[in-house]
A and B are shown apart, each in its own frame.
Chain A
């Protein structure tokens, strides 16, 4: 059993070190001062590292995380600026040069319809990035809503168990429904509306597994003493969830959102590739891949490489984040 007075924070440790200064202590005075000399700067700032700072250091120590971050940043910059600076647009036809390889005018070559592959890839990257980020955020929000509510009410009597059972069956129902087919069903509706509708549509069919995990985590947290205490004090359940449960599962939510970005990009690419996603007035990476031609590899390798670089680096960041947040992984040195 831990005695509360034994618990010392990093601040206490810092004060302790300042107080046990060698020159002030008569017993230790004889020792050479160089070893005991406290390093330059305030001892307090050295000793107490916040959680955010700790995670930042662990994350930046991981070379693959830094590589992933740099690649993602470069791709975002390219997606913003390349379509502004490049001389061709995604739907400008250059039929005289159709199916020619990379040249100084068409950087990635031209496909069989006379479209410039570089222009299409960069504009497609824009839309894929927006859809990826938006879908991941919305998916997490949906999963958080369903998962925490199902987990929180599951111990609250018969009605709680009923609501929990209904939500779990809802999750299972969405897992059985073939999401890709229903997304294809919505395609004609999507064509008449803005392409941004793709984000909620993709999110509705991809929140289930996250919600399952969040429900299990919430169930464990609901049984802890501090959540029980807040319940007995009459705190509103919503406040309890926001203040006590979500901060405890936040690390998992961050990781899952990061990995959700790549999942959403892959889903959107697949849908657009079959011809049911982003269509004519807009271009996504899946639409660019659709114009593949095996005898002219430059029609598909550049968009595929950009897509692979994006998804792999996002996944690298997600895994590095998981390592940084997981105290049992190897990276938990300060």
Chain B
């Protein structure tokens, strides 16, 4: 078990390193943050020495070879230094500071949405498989089919529009955008933040649950036709007991592989959620970083998503080892 997991983790670490390096090299060759020194309507050019110092401080000097810049960035990365923000914003803040401000905002969204979505999806998938062809099964299957076919922005718009309609009708509703209200303090601020968390979490949980319930239904149907479940029924267990004691574990094993990529999908989903609910999280940061030609920021976010995928894949392997004695 330990050997199995350590080999897997090593593979993931190499993959994340390659993905981040690829992203850095791509960003460094496609983006031109030095253009900010040559605005189209400048009264006089920036002195050469100033320009060089500006670009060297940010490790974006186009006169330095690409791989030299990559080596500089990698050296900083080993020491825990992600570089500074570059691009049209001349602020030059350490990327690590920016990320440490924004990761908690995004992560509570992603974790809450994924956990609720996974649990709901697994339960719905199992129940619809056991009660096949009932009205509940038909409506749940139809609903998940429609949800999987909708792009994330449309799901968000539907949720926001429903909230708006309720607010227009009754006068009560959840906060439409913004995760925090700077005017409130103490208990009121906590209540506001909890209310603001509801709609984004619903969106992420519903999207995750829709795809999970579809996978879970298929794996549960496979398990329901198996010999060992029939044996369990034959020795006198009720259907629910047989399913809980023998079926659920076997149906969950193939789900582990889907879970490995769920956090990555949740990150993409949270990108839209942060954009449309005006949350200042990592997703929103990467959109502005890419449009502002911020090389270090983009690479750092790719590293962040890679680490998230790594963690969820390791967790999935661990759960799989826990559930499936054949791997141990």
Residues of A within 8 A of B (CB): 169, 172-173, 175-178, 180-182, 184-189, 262, 266, 269-270, 273-276, 286, 289, 292, 294-295, 297, 300, 304, 307-308, 311-312, 315
Contacts and interface: CB of A to CB of B under 8 A. Distances in A.
B27 A185 contact: yes
A289 B301 CA distance: 26
B298 A308 contact: no
Contact of A181 (B23, B157, B160): B23
Contact of A308 (B150, B152, B176, B264): B150
Could you tell me the dominant secondary structure of chain B's interface residues? helix
B267 A315 contact: no
B272 interface: yes
Contacts of B148: 315
Nearest to B310: A176
Given A177-B19, A178-B268, A300-B157, A312 B149 contact: yes
B146 A181 contact: no
B149 A315 contact: yes
Contacts of B305: 178, 181
B314 to A, nearest CB: 13
Given A270-B152, A274-B275, A184 B18 contact: no
27 contacts: A173-B18, A173-B19, A176-B15, A176-B16, A177-B22, A177-B23, A178-B264, A180-B268, A181-B23, A181-B286, A181-B290, A181-B298, A185-B26, A186-B30, A262-B149, A269-B153, A270-B152, A270-B268, A274-B271, A289-B153, A292-B153, A294-B160, A294-B176, A300-B157, A304-B154, A307-B151, A307-B154
Given A176-B12, A294-B176, A304-B150, 10 more contacts: A177-B19, A178-B267, A188-B30, A270-B272, A276-B290, A297-B161, A300-B157, A304-B158, A307-B150, A311-B150
A113 B151 CA distance: 24
Interface string B249-274: 00000000000010010011001100
Which of B27, B145, B149, B309 has its CB near the most chain A CB atoms (within 10 A)? B149
Given A178-B305, A186-B30, A308 B153 contact: no
B105 interface: no
Contacts of A177: 19, 22-23, 302, 306
Contacts, number: 112
Q: What is the interface residue range for chain B against chain A?
A: 35 or more
Interface in B136-157: 145-146, 148-154, 157
B287 interface: yes
A181 B283 CA distance: 10
Interface in B270-319: 271-272, 275, 286-287, 290-291, 298, 301-302, 305-306, 309-310
A185 B27 CA distance: 7
Nearest to B176: A294
A307 B26 CA distance: 32
B154 A180 contact: no
A187 to B, nearest CB: 7
Contacts of B271: 180, 274
Nearest to B306: A176
Contact of A173 (B15, B164, B301): B15
Contacts of A269: 151, 153
Contacts of B306: 176-178
Contacts of B164: 294-295
B272 to A, nearest CB: 7
Nearest to A188: B30
Contacts of B153: 269-270, 273, 286, 289, 292
A270 B298 contact: no
A6 B286 CA distance: 66
A312 B146 contact: yes
B23 A182 contact: yes
Contacts of B19: 173, 176-177
A270 B23 CA distance: 20
B290 A178 contact: no
B268 A273 contact: no
Q: Which 5 A-B pairs have the closest CB atoms?
A: A311-B149, A304-B154, A312-B149, A177-B19, A178-B305
Given A273-B272, A308-B149, A175 B261 contact: yes
Nearest to B275: A274
